[in-house]
Amino acid sequence: MIDNAPLPSDWSVLQALVAHVQPPPGQSLGTFLLLRSHQLFYRSVSPSEQTQTPLSVNPKVLLKDTAMECDKTINDKIWKEGLLPPPSSPLLPFLCSLSSLPDSLLSDPSLSALQLLRILFGLNQHWFCLFEDHPNLPTTFDPILPANVFTSAKLSSKVTRQLSDFISVAAQQFPHWTKELVNFVPFAFPFSLRRSYLCLVCLGRDRAVYNFVRQSESDQRESAGSAEPSGRVAHRIERRKVEVQRDALVQSTLKAVNANLGDRALLEVSFSGEAGSGFGPTLEFYTVISREFQKADLAMWYGKETTKEEDADGTSTEYIRCPFGLFPRALLPSSAPSPSLLLHFRLLGRLLAQSLSDSRLFDLPLSPVLLLFLSSPSPFPCVSTSAHLSLLHQLDPHLFTSLHNLSLTSEEDFLHLETSFTLPGEESFELLQGGGCKQVTKHNVKQFIQLVSFWLLSGGVSAQFHALRSGFSHLLDPSLLCIFVPAELDELFCGCGSSQSSQKNWNPIAIAQAIKPDHGYTHDSPQIKWLVSQLSSFDREQQRNFVQFVTGSPRLPVGGFSALSPPLTVARKSSADDSELPSAMTCLNYLKLPPYSSFEVQSSRVLLAISHNKCFFLS
């Protein structure tokens, strides 16, 4: 206690002092805290005051179970009657009532300007909702203006100043307007600032300090134009070591997660029977578990395209291939989801939260619609037809084009189509009771399109999304993600993957600045210059192989090579034999490169080494 006021048990001493101690006029808070003595009192807590909630009774999960019951009632009614309830416009959240805002924001003189900005941004994103009654469907749903038009340099500068104050970060005490502003108009801030806000404000004090130190070191290296470390002692956070089995990865992972369900410690994974632990094997774990989730026999994902790959033991495994990203496969209206299916989605949600909290990367091509639903406060409202179609356009452009062409079909041509009320491509999936016997005509084509969109995007996937959000909420609140758009969430969960970021991160200047030569190499060494030249010429598959060989994950974090921590180090290997292969220590992002005699020899040796990146054979 301080001044007879009880303090939360998870607060640090610094948090308590910043929250309850006020410096005298004219004296800074830092000086006052360091030059004065402060008294804190402790007393034992009685059993009646201990209100720890068992992990098996998660209030968020109970709320989601209730929501699932509501979804099932709506789905049953739509299945029997084929009529959707009155839709709501996605523009409504941008026209929020003043009663939902905090008092401090209501009294702010800038409120009217911020509200106008929100409305303009909403219209820019969802302009097509204004043409709901138009007979023809839109051909595009792209925003009218790029998002950076709405970025405010002055507001960003003010929030950046707050996030740069170490005492505020360490004490987790920020001005109330900081959180209110970022959540009310997130589009006014660049992605890099909102990502810093997430890492420094939303993930707890220990990770905030840890991320603050890492970010400071990264900024120093970037300003200095080199990869040399600052020498500052990094803040250590609690770590939890778990062991998993490669041949039973999902089952052993589920067992480890259940044993540490609500544990916020940093997760370190090792593989049973294999040497190596720590950072590198943990990144590899997220890579291989990502591959497990893509197995076609799990029947988790939308789409029928598959690819066969041969595993290390010679067995052939089929994986789902989704050109436009992974999205849950819609279930038949008359069927219930299997416990195994929901368990996999719940595990995926829990691991997504863990990876975000620990700054680890998944290797999953997630659909932007999935990421939108994961971050949305209410992922399954009965939205307007145009809003559903805009999501369908992102999920499956080919299906959207087919439906768009169907809406333009003349009444006479419908007589020759013989299209029934079933999901396109799946005749066994009836969109309403008896849909296999009901023909699509010019008069009911709009209802057909609405039902296709509903079952694919809402009714057929609601149980899977509730399970996904339930797993995520065991560690983090999904509402923390609402300040990001789907493309940004993809970078947070899966790192740099787009072609634009590849061009930026893999150019020779960026690579040379990120590399830290060591143990006999300098930036002027021919082997370092050859490596930079070779890396900048890699295709996408070679880039993935090299990054996995050096770091354990096939994807770079947001920011590319310069964001690696520890920095990418290239050391001279003692052997001078041209037949020697490079090796790596993934825990340290450390590449051991022999002093090859020519560019051609080094290039062939590096390509051979990175093609064997499935385990720690070359460490």
**61 pLDDT higher than 60:** no
Which helix (H) or strand (E) is 268 found in, with range? strand 266-271
Which residues are CB-neighbours of 581 under 8 A, at least 6 positions away? 594, 605, 608, 609, 618
**Arithmetic mean of pLDDT, 346-364:** 93
569-572 and 583-585 beta bridge pairing:
unpaired
DSSP string over 481-529 = GGGS-HHHHHHHHH-B-SHHHHHHHTSHHHHHHH-EEETT--TTSHHHH
pLDDT value for 295: 93
**7-16, 51-60, 600-609: which has the highest mean pLDDT?**
600-609
Which residues are CB-neighbours of 149 under 8 A, at least 6 positions away? none
Looking at the annotation, which residues are catalytic? 587
Q: Residues 469-505: pLDDT tens digits?
A: 999 999 999 999 999 999 999 999 998 765 555 678 8
**618 pLDDT higher than 70:** no
pLDDT value for 49: 47
- Model confidence at 553, in pLDDT bands (50, 70, 90)? confident
Return the beta strands (E) in 303-424 as ranges: 306-310, 316-320, 422-423
**220 pLDDT higher than 80:** no
Q: Residues 183-219: pLDDT tens digits?
A: 999 999 999 999 999 999 999 888 998 889 888 876 6
Q: Residues 275-321: pLDDT tens digits?
A: 777 788 898 899 999 999 999 999 999 988 888 887 766 788 899 98
**250 pLDDT higher than 70:** yes
Which helix (H) or strand (E) is 600 found in, with range? helix 599-610
Neighbours of 43 (CB within 10 A): 7
- Model confidence at 53, in pLDDT bands (50, 70, 90)? very low
Separation of alpha carbons 357 and 240, rounded Å: 13
**231 pLDDT higher than 70:** no
Q: Which domains does the chain have, with CATH numbers?
A: 13-49 (no CATH), 94-224 (no CATH), 246-371 (no CATH), 499-610 (3.30.2410.10)
Q: Residues 493-544: pLDDT tens digits?
A: 998 765 555 678 898 998 999 999 988 899 999 999 999 999 999 998 899 8
**Arithmetic mean of pLDDT, 377-399:** 76
The values of phi and psi at residue 334, to 5°, are: -90, 0
Q: Residues 97-135: pLDDT tens digits?
A: 666 677 777 778 888 898 899 999 999 998 888 887 777
Looking at every residue in the chain, the average pLDDT score rounds to 83
- Model confidence at 181, in pLDDT bands (50, 70, 90)? very high
Secondary structure in 3-state letters for 377-409: CCCCCCECHHHHHHHHHHHCHHHHHHHHHHHCC
